[in-house]
Structure 1
Amino acid sequence: MKGLLTASSAAFTLAGGALATPTAPRSDLLFFKPLSVTSDSVHNIHVGYGDDDFEGDVRLVYGDCGMRSHGDRHHEIASHYIKRSDRPERFVWIVPEDAIDGGCIHAYSGSALIGRSTRIPVKHQPRKREDMSAIADAMGPWFDGVAYMKAKQNNASYVTVEKSKKIAIIGGGMSGLMTSLLLDSVGIHDWHITESSQRIGGRIRTKYLAGSTPEQYQYQEMGPMRFPVSTFYPDANETLDIQDHKMVFQLGATLNEMNGGNTSSLAVNFIPWIQASPNVPANSNGFRLPNGRIPSATQVKNNATAYTLPAVEGAPDEKTVDDATETLDKWENVTTDVLKSIATNVFQAHKDAVSKGLFHWSEAAYIKYALNASDEVVDYITGNDDSPIWEYDTVYFGATTWRTIDKGLESLPRAFYPHVQDRLTLGRKVTGLKHDESTGKIAVQWRQNPMAMEPESEEYDYAVVAVPFSKVRLWNLPRYSSLLSRAISEMNYEQSCKVSLRYKTRFWEKLSPPIIGGCGAVDIAGIGSVCYPSYKINSTGPGVILGSYISGTLARSVAALSEADHVAMVQRAMVEIHGEVATEQFTGAYERQCWEVDEHQAGAWASPIVGQQDLFLPAYYKTELKSIFIGEHTSYTHAWIFSALDSAVRGTSQLLLDMGLVDEAKQIVDTWMGRWISI
């Protein structure tokens, strides 16, 4: 964040009368901070009052400490009418790039000098670290604190408001919960979370089957389930950390510290996740082993020819397909260096992808319109997917080291609960927001009785909306800008379904060869991936398999099945994969989750189509009608918990800047975004 990241505030002492000037200033206004500043940065000026009766217009300017009048200033900082009953303690100072070194802040009321600071060193040396504006300015002014504040007029935004402002947090998912933690961390405690369901955690949906407890380890993740950690690149013999998801691990450590350590009942403990395993079932193109079972990943790899289908009649010419694929690959240029850049700094990588124009193309569109390929060739190579060419998932799923959370990802919201329970309303379905132009407040509306024509409401100073646009688009909303309104109405969402099945024992770990964790993809229609638990390997007692994880068009088809038919289809697949032992061991207990028909989500995750991401992103970084929108759908990446947390850091910092709380915004950015700053 330009300036906001690089500037720091220290003590700044009263200097009234300390400097040789023609007229010693009065001490109606006392200056306390900062001791020094950096040019082209944003700071808070901390002030006090030497005269309890003072009231009137005050103008803050910066210039030579010996300047004789307001007109001799180098630049103006802010102006404000100060009342006896309303005395701001901070102002916002945007230090220009050409600010003189060793000047003073002067306070004038009319032509009278009523306060002056000590000399303030202004550092002009080149920055020693990369700031966020250098890597994200094209996609959002929030990252450039100087630009964000310059975009505001010299009005109340330049005067820090009280921390007692009332903040609505709508949505108790990870972005909403993270926002509450961030606000508390900087001393803002008058916030309230409104959640439509009877739980917190949003898309985190650990299911403990058959009424079991987390300690019994009979669970599966029906939402997010893993975090990529690092990737080993054999050509360079190098292991590179994936920086994004470190924010999740940092959050876990922070919650553990808040809750008394990682041995408490609320502990968030990360354990290894097995993503790839040699004996998981694999896509064998319909071929089966002599015993009728689906071959394993190792068997398919070792005998690929036997599991390769012959050319289909009417398929496009092989050379045409190969040439188009090669040209596409060259244009995308997804080299090892590109993948490493995404792992190291997703913000820089996003900006590079935007600059290259990748967000204007899907692979299908490029092959069709840039290469003039036939519809048959396009469909054969890529299908008709209209997602932009943004390769972060290639990096994430290329990871060689993964983690998950012991006892389920539900441990994250569980660890939040003691800190939000007294400022939380569950089961309240928000139906709208209403902005009052006369008071500047925003009202949250809901209906306790769905048939009531008039909603109930409560007013707040700001609303942080942590709800998917797939739900917000059904609300009654204020008249937001055209761009933000279109983002809310049009953002595309992906669908996914999961089915988990409980068995009497972890029989798959006793097969020959055994299946030890990992996810495999099968060719059975409507099943997709099958994942085995990474926890408590070879333990006794019941176990749970994620029998089906499927997204996209097929997920819509299986979501339309009755629950009984869907579960039966998945159980039949388990028999086809493992043999009759899956029939003998099935307990009949299951969980099913189809996200598009979840009343609190209406979609699995945001999946912007071509043209949406780079178009809509800037709208999220502007506070409109006291509303700030966060959530994974407003981030650079989607579907992952990191995406939700990143949006909360952005949204909270945006809120703090709007309130003039620059010091607090710096604190949050330095604490949570520091890994993307090169020292």
Structure 2
Amino acid sequence: MAPHMSKLLGVATALYGLCIAQPTIGQSVSFQGPFDVEQGGLHNIHVEYHEQLNGELTIVYGSCTIDSPSQAHHQIGRTHIGNHPAAKRHLDWDEQRPTKFVWVTPSDVVSGCLHAFVDGGLVGRSEQVSVKKRKLTRRATLADVAEPLGAWFDGVEYMKQKEPDEVFVAATKKKSFGILGGGMSGLMTSLLLDSVGIHNWKIIESSGRVGGRVRTTYLNNSKPEDHQYHELGPMRFPQSLTDPDTNATYEIMDHRMVFQLADVLNELNTGNDTLQVKFIPWIQTSANVPVSTNKRRPDGTFPGKSEVANDPAYAEATVYSNATAVAEAEEALDEFKDMTSERLKFYATNVFKAHKQAVEEGYFDFSEVEYLRYVMKTNPNVTDEVASSTSISPMWEYDTVYFMADKWRTIDGGLSRLPAAFENLLQGRVIFNSKVHSVKHNSENDTLTVSYRPLGSNPREVKSTTEEFDYLFNTVPLNLLRFWELPRYSSLMRRAIDRYNFGTAAKIAIQYETRFWEHLDFPIYGGCGSVNIPLIGSICYPPFDINGTGPGVLLATYISGPNANTACAMTDEEHVAYVQQAVVDIHGSVADDNWTGNWDRQCWDHDEHHAGSWASPITGQQQLYIPAFWRTEFNTVFIGEHTSFTHAWIFSALESATRGTVQMLLDLGLVDEAKQITKTWMARWITL
């Protein structure tokens, strides 16, 4: 072929490619993207209108040369626009013409073009769309997640379960959102919504503060910088652990979400040092913390950990009814749990996949007691010696791994500094001291009416106040919803509300005139110890202001479960007196000599805003109810640590807020925004 003919052929080919790949000149609708998609993915389509179109809009995908919807590879969706009577559902859009749509790409899709038709006539065609195969092993993005019992929330499958035209048109960001509860999940949700340009939200909080179960008590009206505080709620974050068998160190990845949140808040509060969140080391244990033993020092005080480990005089053998049977039962549990080095690493680095594996391998099917009694046929007495008969939780060992951590962090000035850092974000958008008692769905306009009364008011005398929202995030513990007036949720969700189990805990913090524990013959510099004085449990020494010259605060008791219920049956004065005497028994009269009379007590089961310390699902509940939490009902998404894979940790609340916000955004068709959140808050610290 002659050179000039070859050039002409090349030009002709290029022109043909432009003809089929570029939008038609003078088209009424132009596509603004996406132009790079994945097979089996989830995307937003963006369009612009260049004239006032009215009628039924249909968007399809297929060859770039088609001129009829019937020739398409697949129909993406259809809806009425403009002045068509059926377009009234799009009142939030300018002239009732939506510009944002949802596209779930099939797994067999190939390169082609997007096409827009109105009443069957072609009104717009996109440039050629590039299609890539789905990447199955990459950082967590919206389309890379698995089923509810597996790795994370599966956005693609979630959208496939909906009718195509139901989710075809994306919502505008003008919708109103109510957030019930100003705990960590509610606060995180408000931050996430703001981050994607959704600002029409409001928090309704039953108490006079934000933070939920994050509660630092500052004794004697002190300030955070005075270091006269302790934690009545969560108090620490496990950061990393060292495998005792391999000496390998692993970051505990999930709690990095807390550190990322602090970074974001610190950036928002640049220039305001009082709102900066600063992490300091937490001392989980130290050489001289008291231990649970019947042996005592010559002066009658409790020996410390290193003394018991090194001095034969403090050796104390445990007596069992049948030592051989106990050893066999313990070995059976160890074999079933199979906490190998590889599994330890797995739990530390990817709690989502660890949860999936735990479900598949049956760890959620048995508590330790159930496994010994009904699988191993261990007799009841030996079973109770090995695993307390009060234990009804499945063998989901994430907490075991967390407490193997050898590096911990806490927040300087108390964990309440974390919710306090939301101050600038929240201004004017929180209704405090307002107890919700009713949520009603309005079928005529698909909205929700929330009714609440002032905290402490008499329901028979005070009229309720109402707020109307398009959508709700409900963070309230399920057990508190049992006496609310609620929509007719699905049977599974209603049973979760009625039956999901919550634990309880009790704490007392006491201020002393000096940090006397740091000046004993066996000084204690931070750490938590445990003693066998009934109803005391753990005692934690402050990890901050070591060797300070002023007063100091002990967490003088921390107990959970049935013992907390018993202890909280005492009056405040009885309980504090009992605990103070225990501190004297542990450390001697120096504890009485330094008594200030300043203390604070928290019985989480008695707290009207929480009615429990954390979710504690019994065997079978978690894998049964999680799918209900991940289903939007009556425009309501349920979040909070009780809806997460793990419980009792701030991470659990933050993770639930991330999942719930993504879920809500998908319900609204805001796929780009959902991807933005997932990429920002998941991909940076975990891989799937």
Structure 2 length normalisation: TM-score? Answer: 0.92
1:74 match: 73
Secondary structure of the residue aligned to 1:265 is helix
**Whole-angstrom distance in 1 between the partners of 2:666 and 2:150:** 14
Of 339, 364, 367, the residue aligned with 2:369 is 364
Q: 1:427 and 2:425 equivalent?
A: no
**Whole-angstrom distance in 2 between the partners of 1:99 and 1:209:** 64
1:158 match: 168
1:147 match: 157
Secondary structure of the residue aligned to 1:447 is strand
Of 490, 498, 516, the residue aligned with 2:499 is 490
Structure-to-structure mapping, 1:225-374, within 5 angstroms = 225-260=235-270, 264-284=273-293, 286-303=294-311, 306-309=314-317, 311=319, 315-374=320-379
Of 223, 235, 248, the residue aligned with 1:213 is 223
Secondary structure of the residue aligned to 1:207 is strand
Q: Deviations over 1:196-249 (max 9, x none)?
A: 001111001100001111111100000000000000224323211000100000
> Letter of the aligned partner of 1:613 in structure 2?
Q
Secondary structure of the residue aligned to 1:477 is coil
**Whole-angstrom distance in 1 between the partners of 2:483 and 2:302:** 45
Q: 1:470 and 2:479 equivalent?
A: yes
Q: 1:121 and 2:130 equivalent?
A: yes
Could you tell me how far 1:660 is from its partner in structure 2? 0.5
Asked if structure 2 preserves the Cα contact closer than 8 Å seen for 1:140 and 1:621, the reply is no
Asked if structure 2 preserves the Cα contact closer than 8 Å seen for 1:135 and 1:347, the reply is no
Could you tell me how far 1:68 is from its partner in structure 2? 3.1
**Whole-angstrom distance in 2 between the partners of 1:139 and 1:153:** 24
1:396 match: 402
2:382 match: 377
Asked if structure 2 preserves the Cα contact closer than 8 Å seen for 1:628 and 1:651, the reply is yes
Q: Deviations over 1:420-446 (max 9, x none)?
A: 021010000000111112211111111
Could you tell me how far 1:28 is from its partner in structure 2? 2.0
> Letter of the aligned partner of 1:301 in structure 2?
A
Structure 2, unmatched stretches of 5+, are 1-14, 84-94
**Whole-angstrom distance in 2 between the partners of 1:344 and 1:435:** 41
Of 200, 204, 207, the residue aligned with 2:210 is 200
Q: 1:60 and 2:59 equivalent?
A: yes
Q: Deviations over 1:351-398 (max 9, x none)?
A: 000011111111100111111121112212112211001000011111
Q: Deviations over 1:327-366 (max 9, x none)?
A: 2211121222212101100000000000111111111001
**Whole-angstrom distance in 2 between the partners of 1:25 and 1:241:** 56
Which shows bigger deviation, 293-302 or 186-195? 293-302
Secondary structure of the residue aligned to 2:648 is coil
**Whole-angstrom distance in 1 between the partners of 2:686 and 2:57:** 37
**Whole-angstrom distance in 1 between the partners of 2:252 and 2:137:** 23
Could you tell me how far 1:307 is from its partner in structure 2? 3.7
Asked if structure 1 preserves the Cα contact closer than 8 Å seen for 2:436 and 2:452, the reply is yes
**Whole-angstrom distance in 2 between the partners of 1:125 and 1:258:** 36
2:536 match: 527
**Whole-angstrom distance in 2 between the partners of 1:646 and 1:497:** 25
Change over 3 Å in CA distance of 1:310–1:31 after alignment to 2? closer
**Whole-angstrom distance in 1 between the partners of 2:341 and 2:529:** 25
**Whole-angstrom distance in 2 between the partners of 1:506 and 1:492:** 39
Change over 3 Å in CA distance of 1:303–1:158 after alignment to 2? farther
Of 219, 222, 232, the residue aligned with 1:222 is 232
2:48 match: 48
Secondary structure of the residue aligned to 1:228 is strand
Q: Deviations over 1:170-189 (max 9, x none)?
A: 00000000000000000000
Asked if structure 2 preserves the Cα contact closer than 8 Å seen for 1:129 and 1:677, the reply is no
Could you tell me how far 1:453 is from its partner in structure 2? 8.4
**Whole-angstrom distance in 2 between the partners of 1:672 and 1:212:** 35
Structure-to-structure mapping, 1:24-43, within 5 angstroms = 27-43=27-43
Secondary structure of the residue aligned to 1:625 is coil
> Letter of the aligned partner of 2:50 in structure 1?
G
**Whole-angstrom distance in 2 between the partners of 1:110 and 1:140:** 43
**Whole-angstrom distance in 2 between the partners of 1:230 and 1:48:** 50
Could you tell me how far 1:100 is from its partner in structure 2? 1.3
**Whole-angstrom distance in 1 between the partners of 2:480 and 2:404:** 32
**Whole-angstrom distance in 1 between the partners of 2:174 and 2:435:** 26
Q: 1:590 and 2:599 equivalent?
A: yes
1:5 match: none
> Letter of the aligned partner of 2:310 in structure 1?
N
**Whole-angstrom distance in 1 between the partners of 2:81 and 2:686:** 39
Asked if structure 1 preserves the Cα contact closer than 8 Å seen for 2:350 and 2:687, the reply is no
1:600 match: 609
Of 437, 444, 465, the residue aligned with 1:438 is 444
**Whole-angstrom distance in 2 between the partners of 1:456 and 1:389:** 44
Structure-to-structure mapping, 1:409-428, within 5 angstroms = 409-428=415-434
Asked if structure 1 preserves the Cα contact closer than 8 Å seen for 2:513 and 2:550, the reply is yes
Could you tell me how far 1:25 is from its partner in structure 2? 7.5
Q: 1:621 and 2:630 equivalent?
A: yes
Change over 3 Å in CA distance of 1:676–1:352 after alignment to 2? farther
Change over 3 Å in CA distance of 1:663–1:249 after alignment to 2? same
**Whole-angstrom distance in 2 between the partners of 1:142 and 1:290:** 56
**Whole-angstrom distance in 1 between the partners of 2:269 and 2:539:** 35
Asked if structure 2 preserves the Cα contact closer than 8 Å seen for 1:516 and 1:532, the reply is yes
Structure 1, unmatched stretches of 5+, are 1-14
Change over 3 Å in CA distance of 1:574–1:20 after alignment to 2? closer
Change over 3 Å in CA distance of 1:397–1:24 after alignment to 2? closer
Secondary structure of the residue aligned to 1:193 is strand
1:9 match: none
Q: Deviations over 1:510-537 (max 9, x none)?
A: 1112100000000111100000001111
Asked if structure 2 preserves the Cα contact closer than 8 Å seen for 1:222 and 1:498, the reply is yes
Asked if structure 2 preserves the Cα contact closer than 8 Å seen for 1:39 and 1:123, the reply is yes
Q: Deviations over 1:482-525 (max 9, x none)?
A: 11111111111111000011011111111112100000000111
Could you tell me how far 1:109 is from its partner in structure 2? 1.4
Which shows bigger deviation, 600-609 or 451-460? 451-460
Of 649, 652, 655, the residue aligned with 1:646 is 655
Q: 1:575 and 2:580 equivalent?
A: no
Q: 1:173 and 2:172 equivalent?
A: no
**Whole-angstrom distance in 2 between the partners of 1:319 and 1:647:** 44
Change over 3 Å in CA distance of 1:623–1:25 after alignment to 2? farther
Aligned length: 656
> Letter of the aligned partner of 2:639 in structure 1?
I
Could you tell me how far 1:24 is from its partner in structure 2? 5.7
Change over 3 Å in CA distance of 1:279–1:306 after alignment to 2? closer
Change over 3 Å in CA distance of 1:296–1:114 after alignment to 2? same
Secondary structure of the residue aligned to 2:96 is coil
Could you tell me how far 1:139 is from its partner in structure 2? 2.0
2:86 match: none
Asked if structure 2 preserves the Cα contact closer than 8 Å seen for 1:501 and 1:544, the reply is yes
Secondary structure of the residue aligned to 1:609 is coil
Query: Percent identical across equivalent pairs?
Result: 49
Q: Deviations over 1:130-188 (max 9, x none)?
A: 54776641427972111111111123422111101000000000000000000000000
> Letter of the aligned partner of 2:249 in structure 1?
T
Secondary structure of the residue aligned to 2:267 is helix
Secondary structure of the residue aligned to 2:261 is helix
